[in-house]
Every structure is written in structure tokens, then in C-alpha cells.
Structure 1
Amino acid sequence: MRTIKTLLTAAESEAQRAGDDLPGPEHLLLAAFDLPDGTARLAFERAGADPAGFRAAVNDAHRQAIHDLGVQVTGSDRALPEAAPATGPYRLTAPGQEVFQAAVRLAKESPRSPLRGAHVVAAIGGQERGTVTRALRTLGVDRAALATAAGEVLTER
């Protein structure tokens, strides 16, 4: 339960920092990178991607989506100041809920059932569209390879 609270609180902070009302899959993945088990970072690296580059890829995906709508974006790429975590029940976007529920389901199905960061990574691999998918494409990360890498990490640890 502590991991879930840590994950969701950090995802809320990531969303607030990005100026988003609710956390989505990209915020869950960013939060999973910082979980103490280290499995999200390891799975991402095993899939051939640098976790440190994911935030920039998300920003690029947002900029490209806005550009595609015909809106010019100017100004700094700096993140907003870190906001205090929200209190009360956790809320996610619909795709964020999908990823979170899939990660919990995967954790329950695995031999070592506590939720770990690689469960979030595996669930992200199942996303077919959205910001997280565009960001992964920017990084050259294949979603199936990402899910496979997460599964490998989960069986090893």
C-alpha cells in the first residue's frame, strides 16, 4: 500500500509541475522511475531508453500536439515550480486509470505481488495512443519491447 501511495502522490506532483489537472500515464511513468525498487528505470534502460530523456520526450510530444493544432508555443521549457502534493482521494485521467489498474492487475498476477515500478512500465507498454506513446516513439522505444523488458526485470527481481 505504501508503494501505491508513493506512486500516486508523485504522479500528482508530476502532473501539477507540468500544469496538468490530473495525472496521466506519462506522470505515472515519471513517478515510477523514482520508486525505491528501481525496477522501472532498469526496465526502461533494458528496452534501450534513457529514463532521463523521457521528460523531454513528453515535453516534445506536447509541443508537437499543440503545433499540429496550429498553435505557436514560445517561452521557456522550464518546468513549473514543484507543487505540494494534493491531499484526499487520488484521481487520474482515464488513460492514467487504465495504466494504474493494469499495473495493479499485473502485480496481483506475479509471484511477488507487491506493486513495483516495472509493473507500471509493463502497463505503459500496453498503451496504444496518447502522450506517453508519442514520447516513447520520440525516444525510439518499441512498446512491445518495453513490456517485455519490464516482464524480464520482474521475473529476475
Structure 2
Amino acid sequence: MKLPRAIQDMRTIKMLLTAAETQAQRAGDGLPGPEHLLLAALDLPDGTARRAFERAGTDPAEFQAAIDEAHRQAMRDIGVLAAGPSRPLPEAAPAGGLYRLTAPGQEVFQAAVRLAKAGRRSPLRGAHVVAAAGDQERGTVARALKVLGVDRGALTAAAGEVLTGH
């Protein structure tokens, strides 16, 4: 028996936002942003976010390292040199309750939901988040994709192809 789309969406949203919150906490960030949503989408069980990255010609496992490099480059650009490798932060449990996102994170999440609704029969999937995040011209996701050598438009198109089965 298939779950109604609304129930599927709620489960996906809970997984996505809980994982994004955990990603943000691990990174020492107060609230999840687009990069945390994208990292969370890559781990969704539907696998569509990973397939979109692969279709765009990049290894999704390299996205976290690209985020780290984008942050290092941004720090170098403003004249801050890293003292050495940072130590890993302890595992953080999600705070629970209401989910909150940065303003750009909210934009990406809302755009992903709009994309899913536009698909009428498609529940929210990881590739919706990829397409929404790929549309951002600035920010950590755009810089990390540049580090990976991935064209944002190509990634967004790949996400659309994965969603439509082409």
C-alpha cells in the first residue's frame, strides 16, 4: 500500500530538516543553510540527489570537501590564514521542536517544495533540493560547486532529468 503523497512529503521533510540541522551543528553553524540542506538531501533514501550529482559529472561524496575548501578560500580572500586542521566537532543531536533555517536555507527549502508541487505526482525528493540549491548564484553552495568544477545550470538540469526519468 502506497502512502499518500502528503505523508511521504512530511516524512521526507522531517528527515531532510533533521539531517540538515545535524549537519549545521557538526559544522558549528547556528542554523542550517543551503549547503546543509544539500548535504542532507544527498543522504535521503530516494537517491535522486546523488544521481543528479553523478549525472552532472561529479562525485557527491566530494561535496563536503568542496564546502570546506570554499570556506578556506573565503577566509584566505579576506586575509585570514588557517592555523592548521580544525578538530572535529562532537556529534550533535538535533534540538527537536520547530525547524529553523537561515534565510537562504528557507529560500532553497521553499523552492524545493514548490518544485515538488509543480510535479503534481512527485513527492518531495532530494533532487528537488539539488535543483533549488543549484539555482542560487551566491553563497557556499555556489562556491563549493565552483570548487568541484560543476556548472550550477548543468547540475540543476541534471536534477530535472533525474526527476523526470530522462
Tell whether the structures are fold-level matches, with TM greater than 0.5. Answer: yes
- The secondary structure found in structure 1 opposite 2:97 is coil
What's the CA shift string for 1:28-49, capped at 9, x where partnerless?
0100011000000000110011
Aligned Cα root-mean-square deviation (Å): 1.2
List alignment gaps of at least 5 residues for structure 1.
Answer: none
TM-score after normalising by structure 1: 0.96
- The whole-number CA distance in structure 1 between the counterparts of 2:88 and 2:156 is 28
Report the equivalent of 2:129. 120
Report the equivalent of 1:7. 16
List alignment gaps of at least 5 residues for structure 2.
Answer: 1-9
Q: 1:8-157 counterparts in 2 under 5 A?
A: 8-156=17-165
What's the CA shift string for 1:74-127, capped at 9, x where partnerless?
232453222001211111111111100000000000143311000000101110
Tell whether the 8 Å contact from 2:134 to 2:141 is kept in structure 1 after alignment: no
TM-score after normalising by structure 2: 0.91
- The whole-number CA distance in structure 2 between the counterparts of 1:79 and 1:32 is 22
Larger radius of gyration between Structure 1 and Structure 2 = 2
- The secondary structure found in structure 2 opposite 1:88 is coil
Report the count of equivalent residues: 157
State percent identity of aligned pairs. Answer: 77
- Structure 1 155/95 Cα, relative in aligned 2: closer, same or farther at 3 Å? same
